[in-house]
Structure formats: structure tokens, C-alpha cells
């Protein structure tokens, strides 16, 4: 009798992004995404596990529907790292690697040259609570020694709707 192969997505790492699962209401300062200063911008983000629980799918949308994005994230067991691919309706395509970093979850891009400067971007999921978290989009031009804040989004979990 053969023993069934272990579930490839059942290791402890496979739950490291579970804090992000759910449907979220988002707010951020409008000027961070090209809007008028002093106003708030809003959106939603729906995060769920797909493909047998091996992949975390993100569906991001601004409330006005002008900016839409999707990501797929998975833990690569051989490399022992999370990988994410992001695409959006502005032609954006980004690839990240990372994972748990202390009490945060951090994903980074590879260094890339932009206007003669080498830039690394990262997203930091921090202040993670059951019904809220803070998401930070940051950039570094010194190899990651210091980071500048480019965009901060406050996540609030949508309440369960019964009816």
C-alpha cells in the first residue's frame, strides 16, 4: 500500500498570509495616488485562497473603478520564500519575493534602474490585527538601508453580512 504524498501547501508557511484573507475596505490620502491633496481615496481588496489553498489571489479596485489590480502569491517550498506577481490596468507588472519579517510581512522587488538610479521597492504589511492592518509601499535608493514612504493604505475588514 502506498502512502499518499503530503499536501504540498500544508506546511506552516502556507498560512503566513492568512491574515490578509477576506474582503477589505481601504483608505489612503488621495495625493498618494495622484488625487487632490487633503482628500481621502477609497477602494476595496478581496483576498482569497485558490488552487487548493496553494495560491493567494488579490483583487484590488479603487472605488471609482479607475485603477484595478490583481496579484497571485505562493510560497515556493524549494526556495523557502514567498513570491508574488502583480499586474494592473495601467500596464504595471511587478514581481516580489519575501515573507515574514518580525511582526510584519514584507515583499520586495529586485533592484532596478530608473532614471539612472537603482531603486528597490517593497510592500510592508504591518500593525496586523484581526480586523485591520497598515500597508506601506516604500522605495530605497541605497540598497535598502533607508526607505521612503510612497503610499500607505489603511485596511479595515468588511463585517460579515448575514441575511
Element (H, E) at 123: strand 117-126
Tell me the pLDDT of the chain (163 aa) as tens digits.
666 666 778 888 999 999 999 999 999 987 776 666 767 889 999 999 999 999 999 999 999 999 999 999 999 988 999 999 999 999 999 999 999 999 999 999 999 999 999 999 999 999 999 999 999 999 999 999 999 999 999 999 998 654 4
H-helix or E-strand spanning residue 27: strand 22-29
Whether pTM exceeds 0.75: yes
Q: Which residue has the cell 472605488?
A: 63
In angstroms, rounded to a whole number, what is the distance separating the alpha carbons of residues 122 and 84?
12
Euclidean distance between CA atoms 69 and 64, whole angstroms: 13
152 contact partners, CB below 8 Å, separation of at least 6: 28, 29, 32, 134, 135, 136, 137
Class of domain 19-157: mainly beta
Amino acid at each position: 500500500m502506498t502512502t499518499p504524498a503530503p499536501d504540498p501547501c500544508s506546511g506552516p508557511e502556507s498560512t503566513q498570509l492568512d491574515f490578509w484573507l477576506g474582503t477589505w475596505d481601504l483608505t489612503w490620502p488621495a495625493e498618494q495616488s495622484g488625487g487632490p491633496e487633503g482628500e481621502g481615496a477609497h477602494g476595496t481588496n478581496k483576498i482569497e485562497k485558490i488552487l487548493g489553498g496553494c495560491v493567494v489571489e488579490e483583487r484590488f479596485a479603487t472605488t471609482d473603478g479607475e485603477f484595478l489590480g490583481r496579484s497571485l502569491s505562493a510560497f515556493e517550498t524549494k526556495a523557502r520564500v514567498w513570491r508574488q506577481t502583480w499586474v494592473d490596468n495601467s500596464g504595471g507588472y511587478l514581481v516580489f519575493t519575501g515573507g515574514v519579517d518580525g511582526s510584519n510581512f514584507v515583499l520586495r522587488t529586485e533592484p532596478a534602474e530608473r532614471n539612472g538610479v537603482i531603486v528597490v521597492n517593497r510592500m510592508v504589511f504591518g500593525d496586523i490585527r484581526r480586523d485591520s492592518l497598515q500597508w506601506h509601499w516604500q522605495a530605497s535608493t541605497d540598497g535598502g538601508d533607508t526607505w521612503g514612504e510612497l503610499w500607505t493604505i489603511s485596511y479595515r475588514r468588511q463585517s460579515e453580512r448575514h441575511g
